[in-house]
Amino acid sequence: MSAFKDTMVITQRQLRLLTRVPEVLIFSTIQPVMFVLLFRYVFGGSIDTGQPGGYVQLLMPGIFVQTVAFTLAGTASGLAEDLKKGLIDRFRSLPISQSALVIGRTLGDSLLNIVVLAVMGIAGYIVGWRPSSGVINVAIGFIFLLLFGYALSWVGIYVGLSASDARVVQNVSFIITFPLTFLSNAFAPTTGMPRALQYFAEWNPVSTMVAACRELFGLENQFGATAGSFPSENPLLTSFIYMLIIMAIFIPLSVNKYKRAAD
């Protein structure tokens, strides 16, 4: 019970940071909204998707997934900063549940994602995004996105605790997330990629997430995934398994790493 309360206090701290520095919230939403507008108007006109409603229908799930994937970087650099400032030492010297700090942070970062996704959804709607699958499916889609972000923030905890410097953390996080988001079906059809990359793109969790969201938002078109492969046939299930695997590996790994942060 007290572990739960401790966790909530840390989550509150994450949220309070947002109210104290509204710029963080503003910039974490401006960036994805900018991506929406850029991709929508730069590529939207030249990529022939055969999709009723146009490229933006395919694009939005891609950008949603990309945005939640960047949770990894946010969590990692925030934690690295705390570590550098000695704040983690203070937390670790308190009589609180040792995992409260990391769990609280992952929860707080997920709550930030809710706000960001909401703002992006509105921006998408303004530029023509119209999911056609009904409220419930769309809601499930968003919950799925939040879960994915949550799983990745555990990877972020591990990265944040492992690196020695906050700037390194930023770089490492981007090295992980950029190829993952671009070697996928998020923005362009995978069929144009070299064969080996196509396989990678198909099994890439970002692709399966994007495909799952497209399915939940009522789209048939999967941007040319090879018919018959398991992930492209079962994107929802595959994505779910991926999330479980990520959490099963990184939650114990990160909690353990945190407990021994100084050894």
Binding site for other proteins (CB under 8 A): 2, 5-6, 9, 12-13, 16-17, 20-21, 85-87, 89-96, 262-263
How far apart (Å, rounded) are the C-alpha atoms in residues 243 and 236? Answer: 11
Instruction: Provide the minimum distance between the beta carbon of 89 and other proteins in the complex, in angstroms, as a whole number.
Output: 6
CB of 251 to other proteins, least distance (A): 21
Q: How far is the CB of 116 from other proteins (least distance, A)?
A: 19
Residue with smaller CB distance to other proteins, 196 or 262: 262
Which residue pairs, CB below 8 angstroms and at least 24 apart, start in 240-246? 242/151, 242/205, 242/208, 242/209, 243/147, 243/148, 243/151, 246/151, 246/152, 246/154, 246/155, 246/205
Q: Which two tokens stand for residue 93?
A: 């010297």
Kindly tell me which of 6 and 202 has the beta carbon lying closer to other proteins. Answer: 6
CB of 10 to other proteins, least distance (A): 8
- Do 198 and 190 contact (CB within 8 A), yes or no? yes
Nearest distance in Å: CB 152, other proteins: 23
Of 17 and 236, CB closest to other proteins: 17
Rounded-to-integer distance, Cα 118 and Cα 101, Å: 26
The least CB distance from residue 117 to other proteins, in Å, is 24
Least gap, CB of 34 to other proteins (angstroms): 24
* Pick 16 or 167: Cβ nearer other proteins: 16
